[in-house]
Structure 1
Amino acid sequence: MQSVQTEPIATSADTHRQVQIAQNTQQMAEYLTPAFFPDHPDHVADCRILDMKYEVGEYCTLPYQLGPRMVIGTFRWGEVEGELPASARLIEPLGMQVYSFEQDPALPGLATALDPRRIRAALAEALPEYRDGGRELLSVRARPLRYRPGKRCTMRFDLLERDAAGALARRTLYGKAYHQLGKASSVFHEMQMLSDTDAVRSGRAILAPVVAFLPDLMLVMQGPIEGESLEMLLEGLQGNVTAGDPRGWAGVVRSAGALAAVHTSGAATDRERPIDKELKRFVKRASQAATATPDRLSLHSEGWQTWQEIRISSVLVPGSTSSP
């Protein structure tokens, strides 16, 4: 297996076969294990799909949990934004590029965030309670929760600290790494701005507190908020269903009230979000749908079923503390 950055032009039948194989975790385990665990040739690592981003005729990207590691597999059939890392390797029989997720070139802060020694030093400098000597940061361990290749990654950070009296305590923070410094900076300042609105001060909306911004890592750090994940309470509440967990209904109503409070708070930003790019993408997808053939529709149906199974079986944010 060798590092390459180009792939042969694929036909519609090729892409159909490639995506089908990519969703077969048993086959993918056999492809991926030798690439990422070369010292264990007789062992096939457990493999499961964490997510799937698929643009017909353009690309398909799947993050896999491969044993203890998260790896990315991607097909690129058209013009796709962003570069692959230099470490990307081609699985030749499949035409898939693969790499470790922490090597995502669009998220340069990932490698540091996931390195216990380097992220401890970075947080000890960024957080005033450690920088001023009030508390000592002893260790930090990061765990990815949600990841969108080339865009962002939300992580949970478990900290061990010691106060001036020598007492040990544990602390949890959340951080989101971004692919653009401007985006990370805007998020940090806008969260600060929102926290000072009447909607938040009155308790109508509760936001995870922003505690630090690490520009070198394009990483925004936030504290935890107590509660339950609303997503987990919404199963079975689709369509006209009136049964289900009453906490789900109550959560939707409360969330709607909080969202309305934020949008009527008067907070404003000068950050522009042009709609041109989104409109072009919608037009492109509509054109693809208009030319869909039965075999392509079958593939889409299979892909949707697989995604539904992934979504239901993968709980990415465990516990009762929600991430920002």
Structure 2
Amino acid sequence: MKKELSACHEAIKPYIHKTPILESKHIENFLGSDLYFKCENFQRAGAFKIRGATNAVLKLSEEQKRKGVVTHSSGNFAQALALACCSVNVKCYIVMPDDAPLVKRNAVIVYGGEIINCAPNLESRERVCKQVIDKTGATFIHPSNDINVIVGQSTAAKEFLEAEPELDVLITPIGGGGLIAGTALAAKHFGKKEIEVYGGEPFEADDAYRSLENGKIESNRTTDTIADGLRTQLGDINFPIIQQGVKAIIRVRENEIISAMRLIWERMKIIVEPSSAVALALLIKERPVFEDKKVGIILSGGNVDLDNLPFY
């Protein structure tokens, strides 16, 4: 698997940015940790998901490329897949819930993706995707439960660990599970032996927490969270990787997400979306667990609707 992760990274390098790693002494002093932020909010299409999307598209056969691809996404994977397809001239169909942020819908259009609307629930997403596949013959690429996507997402943590090999902890937000599964793989193959991986999740969409606790994939009881990128749920491909490689999933409340997001904006002077802030929110909430450790946080994305900020 280590060779596969490395080969993937080499293949997608022409299509992605090597994102910077930033520090904040103010936040470090506040938390008592040696803290590093991998800024995937500076990634192409504004989020880490271009990594997995690009790898999945590059793995298609010529016949599959001719017929195009389809996915369902609330925004970040939609943008990423549309951009990845644009880079290699592949038709891209995006099934998006009708409440997806306008900034993300507009980006899909700019990148050449064709949007098909659906209701904001998994059943509707999957039903409309099947209709597109039946009509066009497009290949379905799951935003997170696809091994090629997961391997692509691992490259964010791989880059992180190449720059900071002594990290004790890696933290990511968790929605569909692609990023944290990829991070767990990278930690296993490129991190030091003792490295631990944690995931952050909203209480309002806590399927991953309950899945890890109960040993089986659970569904979301609600998706009423400001972290719109985390409203999805785990799949049968990424869940076993998460079970084996993730130390714990920590839930945070909506006010904790907003406070963490504001702290990053104010002190680091960078734009992150609520889903990204979940990772810092869990660190603030469980501060004693991480004190005196070298902690890496993956800031997953920065696609924010500037007309609808949560700070007020």
TM-score by length of 2: 0.24
Q: By percentage of residues, which structure has more strand?
A: 1
Q: By percentage of residues, which structure has more helix?
A: 2
Bigger relative contact order (CA 8 A; separation at least 6): 2
TM-score by length of 1: 0.24
